């Protein structure tokens, strides 16, 4: 089996989850790291025994790798992904893949033109409890789905935003919907289906940032179901909830915990063998990032070996970005916004 070597750019909060996953995936390895803060790159590089760089361009030129994972501020993902694609590297982008649709489309086009794969990290899809829920949807156990709620009640104090000057900015980050709730926006569409329109309100109530620290959106799905996404970074004193709830004519499920990591409610009109698995589906991750990165990289490896299709490619990652931008447009204009968005 040919080794798939992965270089990483951005040695911040989420990088260690990628590094830990790469250690465990057969046939994959970390080959280099990069960060504009040289001390941070050096610390991770020396800890992992791989070359480290403070120049991304130099890493693309000098580091032996087949793929690049991008863990930098969101606003940098497209340009760094495009550079990797043009260098002939497969691209693994942390969420969101971009903060504008035009930039997302440029990234997809660059990867297509270069003949490389584009993966967008959506590891929460792989949580055991979420996998059970998806199987219940696919089996039709809910019957008609009436409503779906995604709730993110987390704590991000001012110190979190002050830790890096890009946090909470429109240019490089976005707010609670674009950053912290991005996975939940993805999950609600992945589970229930495409959204027809959205009405939203957002506010910046407590944190000194450009973007929102709280908000709510009401969704109308094409199926006729109604959805609500509620997001707050102002929970006291710690992260309280990260949940998905689906109510249908023959079933009700809530996957809760702080990061959709346990089954809070599981009731269906008819028994299925999956019902026996709900007790063992709970996980207790140390952070809201969960344990899904390992499974995500296993899929990446299988795709690059020609054995599978991507769990989430660039076009899949674009779907949640478009809904987030629709939420922002509605909050800004006070109007119901139809999807897909009209390109201007």
For residue 342, the model assigns a pLDDT of 81
What is the pLDDT, as a whole number, of residue 284?
A: 75
- pLDDT at 269 > cutoff 90: yes
What tens digit of pLDDT does each residue of 284-317 get? Answer: 776 666 678 999 999 999 999 999 999 999 999 9
Mean pLDDT along residues 86-109: 98
First-last CA distance in the chain: 47
3-state secondary structure 44-81: HHHHHCCCEECCHHHHHHHCCCCEEEECCCHHHHHHHH
Residues with Cβ within 8 Å of 237's Cβ and at least 6 positions away in sequence, in order, are: 155
What's the mean per-residue pLDDT of the chain? 96
CA distance 11 to 245: 34
pLDDT tens readout for residues 193-222: 999 999 999 999 999 999 999 999 999 999
Per DSSP, helices labelled H in the chain are 15-24, 38-48, 56-62, 77-86, 101-114, 128-138, 158-162, 182-192, 293-304, 314-333
Residue 266, both tokens: 């599981």
Residues 6+ apart with CB under 8 A from 38: 52, 54
Judged by DSSP in three states, 332 sits in helix
In the numeric block, which tokens belong to residue 286? 């140390």
Residue-level pLDDT at 174 = 98
User: What's the CA gap between 37 and 16, in Å, rounded?
Assistant: 16
- The tens digit of pLDDT for each residue in 244-264 reads 999 999 999 999 999 999 999
- What pLDDT shows up at residue 282? 83
The pLDDT of 317-339, averaged and rounded, is 98
pLDDT by residue (tens digit) across 2-58? 899 999 999 999 999 999 999 999 999 999 999 999 999 999 999 999 999 999 999
Higher pLDDT, 283 or 304: 304
Question: Which contacts of 161-169 are long-range, i.e. CB under 8 A and separated by 24 or more positions?
Answer: 161/207, 161/208, 161/209, 164/12, 164/73, 166/73, 166/75, 167/209, 168/207, 168/209, 168/210, 168/211, 168/213, 169/75, 169/209, 169/210, 169/211
Inter-residue contact 155 to 239 (CB < 8 Å): yes
Residue limits of CATH 3.30.360.10 in the chain? 124-286+321-338
Range 65-93 average pLDDT:
98
List the CATH code of the domain at 124-286+321-338. 3.30.360.10
Q: Locate tokens 């063998």: which residue?
A: 273
User: pLDDT (tens digit, 9 = 90+) per residue, 109-135?
Assistant: 999 999 999 999 999 999 999 999 999
Please confirm whether the linkage preceding 174 is cis (ω < 30° from 0). Answer: no
**Measured CA distances, 246 to 194, 239, 266, 325 (Å):** 15, 22, 10, 23
Task: List all residues 6 or more positions away from 14 whose beta carbon is below 8 Å from its beta carbon.
Answer: 71, 94, 289
One CATH from 2.40.30.10, 2.60.40.10, 3.40.50.720, 3.40.50.300 for 4-123+293-311: 3.40.50.720
Query: What residue spans in the chain does CATH classification 3.40.50.720 cover?
Result: 4-123+293-311
pLDDT for residue 344: 53
CA 230 from centroid of its chain's CA atoms:
17
| Angle in degrees, 0-180, between the axes of helices 101-114 and 77-86, rounded to the nearest 10 | 10
Residue 343 pLDDT > 90: no
Q: What is the mean pLDDT of residues 61-86?
A: 98
Q: Shortest CA distance to 10 belongs to which of 92, 115, 85?
A: 92
């Amino acid at each position: 089996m040919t080794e798939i070597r992965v270089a990483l750019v951005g040695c911040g909060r989420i990088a260690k989850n990628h590094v830990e996953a790469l250690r465990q995936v057969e046939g994959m390895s970390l080959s280099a790291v990069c960060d504009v803060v040289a001390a941070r790159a050096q610390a991770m590089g020396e800890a992992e025994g791989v070359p480290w760089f403070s120049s991304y361009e130099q890493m693309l030129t000098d580091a032996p790798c087949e793929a690049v994972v991008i863990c930098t501020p969101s606003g940098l993902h497209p340009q760094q992904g495009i550079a990797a694609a043009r260098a002939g590297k497969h691209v693994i982008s942390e969420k969101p893949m971009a903060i504008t649709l035009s930039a997302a489309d440029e990234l997809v086009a660059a990867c297509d033109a270069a003949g490389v794969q584009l993966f967008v990290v959506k590891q929460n899809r792989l949580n055991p409890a979420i996998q059970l829920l998806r199987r219940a949807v696919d089996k039709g156990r809910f019957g008609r789905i009436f409503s779906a709620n995604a709730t993110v009640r987390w704590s991000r104090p001012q110190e979190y935003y002050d830790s890096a000057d890009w946090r909470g900015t429109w240019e490089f980050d976005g707010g609670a919907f674009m950053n912290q709730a991005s996975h939940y926006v993805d999950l609600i569409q992945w589970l229930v289906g495409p959204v027809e329109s959205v009405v939203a309100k957002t506010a910046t109530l407590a944190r000194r940032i450009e973007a929102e620290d709280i908000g709510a959106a009401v969704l109308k799905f094409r199926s006729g179901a109604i959805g609500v996404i509620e997001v707050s970074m102002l929970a006291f004193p710690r992260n309280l909830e990260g949940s998905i709830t689906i109510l249908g004519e023959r079933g009700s499920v809530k996957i809760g915990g702080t990061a959709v990591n346990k089954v809070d409610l599981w009731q269906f009109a008819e028994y299925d063998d999956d019902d026996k698995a709900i007790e063992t589906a709970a996980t207790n991750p140390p952070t809201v990032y969960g344990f899904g990165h390992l499974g995500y990289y296993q899929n990446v490896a299988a795709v690059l070996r020609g054995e599978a299709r991507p769990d989430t490619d660039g076009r899949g990652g674009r779907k949640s970005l478009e809904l987030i931008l629709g939420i922002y447009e509605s909050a800004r204009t006070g109007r119901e916004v139809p999807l897909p968005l009209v390109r201007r």
